[in-house]
Chains A and B, each alone.
Chain A
Amino acid sequence: MFVKFLALEWKSLFRSANVGHSILIKTLLAFFALLFAIGLLAIGHSMYDILDESSDHLFPMQQVNRYLLVWFLSELGLRFFMQQLPILNIKPFLIQRISRDTLTHYLLSKSLFTFYNLLAPLLFIPFAIACWSIGDYSGLQILGWLVAVIGTSLSLHFFNFSIQQSLSAHWRLASIIVLVVAILILLDYLHVLSVSDQIAAFYELVLLHPSLAVLPILLIVVSYLLIYRSLRHQLYLEGRAHSRKNSTKTDDIRWIDQLGRYAPVIRLDLKLLWRNKRTKSLLTTAFFGLLYGLLFYNNSSSSSQGMLVFVGIFMTGLFTLNFGQFVPAWDSSYYSIIHTQRINIQDYLGAKSILLYISIIFGMILTIPYVYFGKEILMINLSTAVYNLGVNVPIILYFGTYNKKRVDLEKSQFFNYQGMGAAQWIMMLPALLIPVILWSIVQAFTTFETTCLIFVVLGMIGLCFRNVWLRIIARRYHARKYAMLEGFKQVGE
């Protein structure tokens, strides 16, 4: 049975509407994964030597044990945000003579084949081999330790699915858990109640008595049974359909009427943003993107001014980049309406640009507190925001017209390349790199203040010629109308 399912998966990959595209993306991802894997392997390999030098009285193994909790927590975090339960279209199978148990087991065993399960082995196996070859521990001890660590990692794999399921259903529970974890971290940090010491003590114990490695294996079984039971229980169409139905109150956001002819489209876009999975995760990304500056402003030694410009463009323009590149693909599932109703394309584009302006201005206001790191940073952020308003918005909206792939609104955005075309990758370059290069060139000839001023003026010019570029892009929309309509109809990867 498993083989038959796999054969179906294979067909679905090669018979999907745009095979080349999905294979290309998979190859690209595989390449990055390979790079990452090699990096991890190298770290695991050299970890022993580094740790050996750094401390006199602790074995490298003991030091690793002390940080295992951090590793497991970050692994869980990574899994939580990135990893998703593989999707199987169950409807056709439910009425066939395939037991629900088989389906569930298949789904779960398929989930095991993921890159995230390789992270722990890649890092810890070379390290364990190093410990063993030097002779800190016997072969049996090391084996027990490895089984325990990798076993814990695998149980996280299954626990993660249970967590994702229960959290998506009850978000209040989510906030409580986050609070509890935060308190634990604080206690740990203050050495009041040290969880990481407890964890470390357990793995020390495994080294003394390798038979204790059975415990993490039991943990895998428990976690598997937990998710198995809840999935098995949910393997009915109705269960899924009902939980999805959520009732909302009709909201017309009347104040938007102030915006006149742009009002209907903007109101629609706000609902689009709030009510769909993919756009919601986009909003989260945009918000966390604002914290990006903290990474750079702290270590001022390493950040050149070009880098600061990049950070400025990125922070104030992240939403514009993410949202703008899929205009009009966001509206792909109802694109016929846009073209059969009396929606003037230039007004449609105008409305989209206003939405992007609002996001940039929000970003501009929210990045003002970074003035703490220096007046220079505030000036850079303000002038890059104006540059975004005037120059990047038209560039991104223009490149959006090259997109004719349907966007599936019901899927999360993280690591989701659905609807992504070559144009989207290329578009990032002019939007992000041109300002950095331009800044460096201008700055070579004149002062910092003048450079800021030039950027503001560039943005202002772009804003003044708003109607011109709106008209140019609208013309592109007319030229590509049929191609877009046809492309947006293609459902699937």
Chain B
Amino acid sequence: MTQHIIDIMELSKVYNGQTVLQIPALQIRQGDCIGLVGNNGAGKTTLFSILLDLIPVTTGSVLHQGLNASGSDEWKSWTTAFLDESFLIGYLTPEEFLHFIAEVRHVEHTQVDLLLEKYQDFFQGEVLNRGTYIRDLSKGNQKKVGIISTLIGDPTVIIWDEPFANLDPSTQIRLKHIIKDLTATGEKTMLISSHDLSHTVDVSSRIIALERGRVVKDMAKSDETLPELQQFFTV
């Protein structure tokens, strides 16, 4: 087990002369469940967008299993992400959307149905089989659709930006169970950003804290992690 799932090298991102992200080196290993924490403007979403090659880097590069993110499309077969509503198609119903994703990922329709059955509780009977377009769903329900859509096709790398935000308490707890299930075997790598420190510490195996675009903490989870983070973010 030597190869890194994601390799960040000499990465920097500059907007209008202002450096918003500066990461000399960061390796993400298979089985990592990374909780990314940081205040607004720390660069969490920017980092995820760069990992997905949605915004260009100023310097440096991102490698997915040795493949350059901007140079190849291969990594898209094992990586999925849900960052914001631009990852949803508003005029489709949730089922149509999930089937669309399955089609472009070359996944059988029956697998989607199995997946939906498995995560039936997660939707709480509010989303599926209603004939409602995604654009008419509430923010929380849209997020549920987005999260489930990233599980299609058995990806090994999953990236979620603020998955807990907008979700009701029960769904937050269900989501935590889902994350723990997914990472239990150690095959899947997850990257999750959140403002909720206790949720993040609860589910992740490794915590990375960003501040003004720099990695200020990178540690394996232990019992002291939560107090330490609370200490760190107390002003």
Contacts and interface: CB of A to CB of B under 8 A. Distances in A.
Interface in A243-271: 244-252, 263-264, 267-268, 271
A267 B89 CA distance: 13
Contacts of B90: 333-334, 409
Contacts of A245: 132, 136
A485 B84 CA distance: 13
B130 interface: yes
Interface in A189-245: 244-245
A76 to B, nearest CB: 31
B55 A264 contact: no
A340 B54 contact: yes
**Interface bracket on A:** 20 to 34
B76 A485 contact: no
Interface stretch (A24-32, A286-294, A341-349): A341-349
A12 to B, nearest CB: 23
Contacts of A409: 90-91
A342 B106 contact: yes
Q: Is the interface of B mostly helix, strand, loop or mixed?
A: loop
Nearest to A276: B91
A333 B135 CA distance: 11
B91 A271 contact: yes
Interface string B82-97: 0110111111110110
Interface string A273-300: 0011000000000000000000000000
Contacts of A375: none
A114 B121 CA distance: 53
A339 B55 CA distance: 11
A275 B130 contact: no
A276 B73 CA distance: 31
Interface residues of B, number: 35
A342 B86 contact: no
A342 B105 contact: yes
B101 interface: yes
B136 A339 contact: no
A409 B52 CA distance: 26
Given A264-B100, A485-B54, A335 B76 contact: no
B91 A250 contact: no
B89 A248 contact: no
Contacts of A263: 103
Interface in B176-225: none
B175 interface: no
A486 B77 contact: no
Interface string B151-192: 000000000000000000000000000000000000000000
B89 A268 contact: yes
A341 B104 contact: yes
A250 B86 contact: no
B103 A264 contact: yes
A272 B91 contact: yes
A352 to B, nearest CB: 15
A369 B92 CA distance: 37
Interface in A156-170: none
B131 A248 contact: yes
Contacts of B24: none
Given A249-B131, A272-B91, A342-B104, A336 B83 contact: yes
A252 B99 contact: yes
B41 interface: no
Contacts of B81: 340
Nearest to A247: B131
28 contacts: A244-B136, A245-B132, A246-B133, A247-B130, A248-B93, A248-B131, A252-B99, A263-B103, A267-B100, A268-B92, A271-B91, A333-B89, A334-B90, A335-B86, A336-B54, A336-B83, A336-B86, A337-B86, A337-B87, A337-B89, A340-B80, A340-B81, A341-B105, A342-B73, A343-B104, A409-B90, A485-B55, A489-B86
Given A247-B131, A340-B54, A486-B55, 7 more contacts: A245-B132, A245-B136, A267-B100, A271-B96, A333-B86, A337-B86, A340-B79
Interface of A: 244-252, 263-264, 267-268, 271-272, 275-276, 333-337, 339-344, 409, 482, 485-486, 488-489
A-B complex: 4 closest residue pairs judged by Cβ atoms: A247-B131, A264-B103, A275-B91, A336-B86
